[in-house]
Amino acid sequence: MGRRNMGTPNVVQYYDPNNGVDAPVPISDNDPQKPSYRVVILNYVPPATPTDVLVLQGAAGVITRIREIQLSGAATSATNVVFTLPRRSVANTGGTSAAQTSAKRDPNDGAAATVVSLYSVLPTGLGTFVANAEGGRLNLAPAANGSLDRFITQYSWMNEKGITLRGASDFLCLNLGGVAWPAGGVLDILISFTEE
């Protein structure tokens, strides 16, 4: 089967000379050349009964595509934590948060316009809920047992659209359900995203 580039972005056309059939094959964007960033948060202790603990806010005139999210952690005793990634169309109010460093994958890229904020004091009001973009259950086990659970999701690797933020009124949050945080519990958060 021969390969023909038909001039369509992200598509390779394969041709079978035995029966004259053309077969377009989409190619995923496994090596993006867009400005790429990584946020790494380790040993974060959420406030008691945490709701939204982290917010990614889009930027005006910028399309932010979430490429990967990893969550892991530990606690004194094994505990299940249910989390969601709600989208919001209005910002949270109240609380105390701090912008996190978005490390550039390429030093030639500009600084990230997307703002990633982590709460030390929970918001008093949650923004307008749109939908849960992701969710799951994470087992926090004692770190000494050497077997830590991880939630890992990667987007845009199978030609599906990843979570996309368009503009400054588009928010993606990490919500821990408002239940009591376990004793000795810490959370590690890694987020990769691109901008265009």
Mean pLDDT of 12-19: 61
Q: What is the pLDDT of residues 107-138, one digit of tens each?
A: 999 999 999 999 999 999 999 999 999 999 99
Task: State the Cα–Cα distance between residues 176 and 140, nearest whole angstrom.
Answer: 13
Give me the domains of the chain, ranges plus CATH numbers: 1-28 (no CATH), 31-195 (2.60.120)
Q: Would you say residue 16 has pLDDT above 50?
A: yes
State the pLDDT confidence band at 58, using cuts at 50, 70 and 90.
Answer: very high
pTM of the model: 0.82
The per-residue DSSP string of 69-134 comes to EEEEEE-SS-EEEEEEEEEESS--BSSEEEEPP-EESSTTSPPP-SEEEEEEE--SBPPPEEEEEE
Q: What are phi and psi of 145, to 5 degrees?
A: -80, -10
Task: State the Cα–Cα distance between residues 84 and 134, nearest whole angstrom.
Answer: 6
